[in-house]
């Protein structure tokens, strides 16, 4: 009876309690970034301790990204039919258990399976948290709060490796997952005692309607090209995340703390790119899109040429900083336009877009992992170039498609 009461009282909760729930929702947003990135500085030490290859450790991240992406395609409809509260509690509980289990095993296969479970759990948390704002606030306040989502979310990828580097130095790689268990445990206790069900009316799960909407969106050439551009833009950032720690520690002989500082700096570059991209949204296609990708290619080619003469952390990180700014600009530009392409089905479009972006990123991460061990700055720069050329090709196809659509209309 008590559980049922808690399930139904969030809509009628006091203003003070609603404010507390709103604050805690924002506290939970960076969790997805922490689950993704906190153990990046520990990649080299994990490989050494488990006596496995770099590729094996990198695949634990790929497994998570793929699960997170695929789960987002289905989670929205499920939460609309069964509610937010219980799935969120279950997701947090699974995150606690899986994080602790990872610290107790040295099996890469089991860690990959647990990371797949974490990807599904985090997708439930992200979608449910976003939906809570829509459930309890009017349209204007929802718009106001959602505008802060990207900024708050970016705290995760920025701060997580920085913290992870210190946890690795002071303790070991297990400490990263104990921290995730603690973070999820704190949120679980809050949800259990203070939160409740926010969904005013549950909807019948209509898979056929969702599938028909997905089919319609997948057939839209410009929308799909935009998703590929988003996925490849993020893949450039992920390329450094999965190869950079090994180069910094094994080749340049710096500590995990330095890896944390480097990813902190590059996290800010992504955020700066986002702010620049937001300010350039009113520009035409050529200055808004072509200029950043051409600048990125010039920077990558300059890094390749420089790598023939000198390789150093103090060369690699400044180049990566500006390369990632260009990716941030492109990502923000296409994220905004893609979200607005289906205004009547923004939720479904957002779920499809978010899911496919992570699927594309996980596929490119897997290809990078199996393409050979990256031990040098030059190896990183050549892989940057390959992704950037694919990105340029899709952008040029996109330009022609936009031009054709304008002519038809």
Q: pLDDT digit string (tens) for 280-296?
A: 878 888 888 899 999 99
Is pLDDT larger for residue 153 or for residue 53? 53
Residue 2: pLDDT band (50, 70, 90) is very low
Q: What is the mean pLDDT of residues 52-70?
A: 91
Q: What is the pTM of this model?
A: 0.85
Q: What is the mean pLDDT of residues 361-368?
A: 90
- Are the C-beta atoms of 227 and 337 separated by less than 8 Å? no
pLDDT digits (tens, 9 = 90+) for 69-79: 999 888 877 77
Among all chains, which residue has been given the structure tokens 């701060």?
159
Longest dimension (CA), the chain: 72
**Where does 104-154 have alpha helices with state H?**
108-136, 139-146, 149-153
Residue 340: pLDDT band (50, 70, 90) is low
Residue 131: pLDDT band (50, 70, 90) is confident
What is the distance between the alpha carbons of residues 198 and 142, in angstroms, rounded to a whole number? Answer: 14
User: Is the pLDDT at 170 greater than 70, yes or no?
Assistant: yes
The pLDDT > 70 percentage for the chain reads 88
What is the distance between the alpha carbons of residues 111 and 134, in angstroms, rounded to a whole number? Answer: 35
What is the distance between the alpha carbons of residues 218 and 50, in angstroms, rounded to a whole number? Answer: 42
User: Is the pLDDT at 12 greater than 70, yes or no?
Assistant: no
What's the N-to-C CA distance of the chain in angstroms? 58
Residue 4: pLDDT band (50, 70, 90) is very low
User: Is the pLDDT at 8 greater than 50, yes or no?
Assistant: no
What pLDDT score does 168 carry? 92
User: Is the pLDDT at 13 greater than 70, yes or no?
Assistant: no
pLDDT digits (tens, 9 = 90+) for 90-102: 999 999 999 999 9
User: Is the pLDDT at 350 greater than 60, yes or no?
Assistant: yes
In the structure encoding, which two tokens stand for residue 115, read together? 């990371």
> Can you list the domains of the chain with their CATH numbers?
13-199 (1.20.1250.20), 206-409 (1.20.1250.20)
Distance of CA 145 to the CA centre of its chain: 19
* Burial 313-341, CB ≥16 within 10 A → b, else e: beebbebbbbbbbbbbbbbbbbbebbeee
């Amino acid at each position: 009876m008590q559980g049922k009461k808690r399930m139904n009282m969030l809509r009628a909760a006091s203003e003070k309690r609603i404010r507390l729930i709103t604050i805690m929702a924002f506290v939970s947003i960076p969790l997805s970034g922490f689950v993704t990135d906190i153990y990046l500085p520990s990649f080299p030490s994990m490989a050494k301790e488990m006596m496995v290859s770099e590729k094996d450790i990198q695949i634990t991240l790929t497994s998570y990204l793929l699960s997170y992406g695929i789960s987002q395609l289905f989670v929205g409809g499920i939460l609309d039919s069964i509610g937010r509260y219980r799935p969120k509690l279950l997701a947090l509980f699974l995150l606690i258990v899986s994080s602790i289990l990872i610290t107790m095993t040295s099996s890469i296969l089991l860690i990959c399976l647990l990371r797949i479970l974490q990807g599904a759990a985090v997708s439930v948390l992200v979608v449910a948290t976003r939906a809570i704002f829509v459930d309890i606030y009017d349209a204007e306040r929802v718009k106001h709060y959602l505008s802060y989502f990207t900024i708050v979310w970016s705290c995760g990828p920025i701060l997580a490796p920085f913290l992870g580097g210190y946890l690795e130095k002071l303790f070991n790689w297990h400490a990263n997952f104990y921290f995730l268990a603690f973070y999820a445990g704190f949120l679980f206790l809050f949800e259990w005692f203070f939160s409740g069900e926010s969904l005013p009316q549950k909807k019948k799960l209509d898979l056929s309607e969702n599938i028909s909407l997905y089919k319609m969106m997948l057939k839209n050439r410009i929308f799909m090209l935009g998703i590929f551009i988003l996925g490849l833009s993020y893949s450039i950032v992920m390329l450094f995340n999965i190869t950079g720690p090994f180069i910094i520690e094994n080749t340049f002989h710096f500590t995990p703390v330095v890896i944390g500082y480097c990813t902190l700096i590059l996290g800010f570059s992504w955020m700066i790119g986002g702010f620049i991209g937001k300010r350039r949204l009113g520009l035409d296609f050529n200055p808004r899109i072509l200029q950043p990708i051409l600048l990125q290619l010039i920077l990558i080619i300059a890094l390749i040429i420089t790598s023939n003469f000198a390789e150093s952390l103090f060369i690699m990180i400044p180049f990566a900083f500006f390369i990632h700014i260009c990716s941030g600009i492109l990502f923000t530009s296409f994220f905004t336009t893609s979200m607005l392409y289906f205004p009547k089905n923004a939720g479904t479009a957002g779920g499809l877009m978010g899911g496919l972006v992570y699927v594309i990123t996980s596929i490119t991460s897997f290809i990078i992992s199996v393409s050979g061990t990256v031990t040098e700055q030059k190896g990183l720069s050549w892989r940057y170039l390959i992704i950037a050329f694919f990105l340029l090709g899709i952008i040029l196809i996109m330009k022609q498609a936009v031009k054709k659509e304008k002519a038809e209309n």
